[in-house]
Amino acid sequence: MTTREPKIPGTDHPITIEATGVRVVARVGAHVIADTTKALTLREAGYPPVRYIPLDDVDQTLLADSATRTYCPYKGEASYYNIVLPDGQGTDLTDAVWSYREPYDFVASIAGHIAFYTDRVEVVVDEG
């Protein structure tokens, strides 16, 4: 059995989380999946910033649980959702959304939030 040892972010792999502070909208075509002013921006090492949106600001009727799970040693186990549009339109939206339901302590503020793969969901950050 493989043990999962959490890693602590540091100078070799920094992670920061801060309030985005502006409106963030996630959509597929004309369908708004999420609209919030309470998003968090997670910056991790050399990766692009990720917007984590509170589940309360998501149209959860468009989300269907997926059996997919992945593991990040810095954040914990990720659970996935498929996006199911009422008209069946859209590209492949399987596992297009993820969430850390019980993230590690260092990133605990992303609990109750979801993030989107931006190659399948348009995430617009209103910079003004």
pTM of the model: 0.93
Return the pLDDT at 128. 64
- Residue 65 φ/ψ, nearest 5 degrees: -55, 145
Number of CB atoms found within 10 A of residue 110's CB: 21
Give strand ranges (E) for the chain.
15-19, 24-28, 31-36, 40-44, 50-54, 63-72, 76-83, 97-99, 113-116, 122-125
Return the pLDDT at 44. 97
Question: For residue 111, with 0-12 CB atoms within 10 Å meaning exposed, 13-18 middle and 19 or more buried, which class applies?
Answer: middle
Domain 15-125, what fold? 2.170.150
- Residue 44 φ/ψ, nearest 5 degrees: -130, 120
CA dist 91 and 94 (Å) reads: 9
Strand order in the sheet with 122-125: 31-36, 24-28, 122-125
Mind listing the pLDDT tens digit of every residue in the chain (128 residues)?
Answer: 567 889 999 999 999 999 999 999 999 998 999 999 999 999 999 999 999 999 999 999 999 999 999 999 999 999 999 999 987 666 679 999 999 999 999 999 999 999 999 999 999 999 76
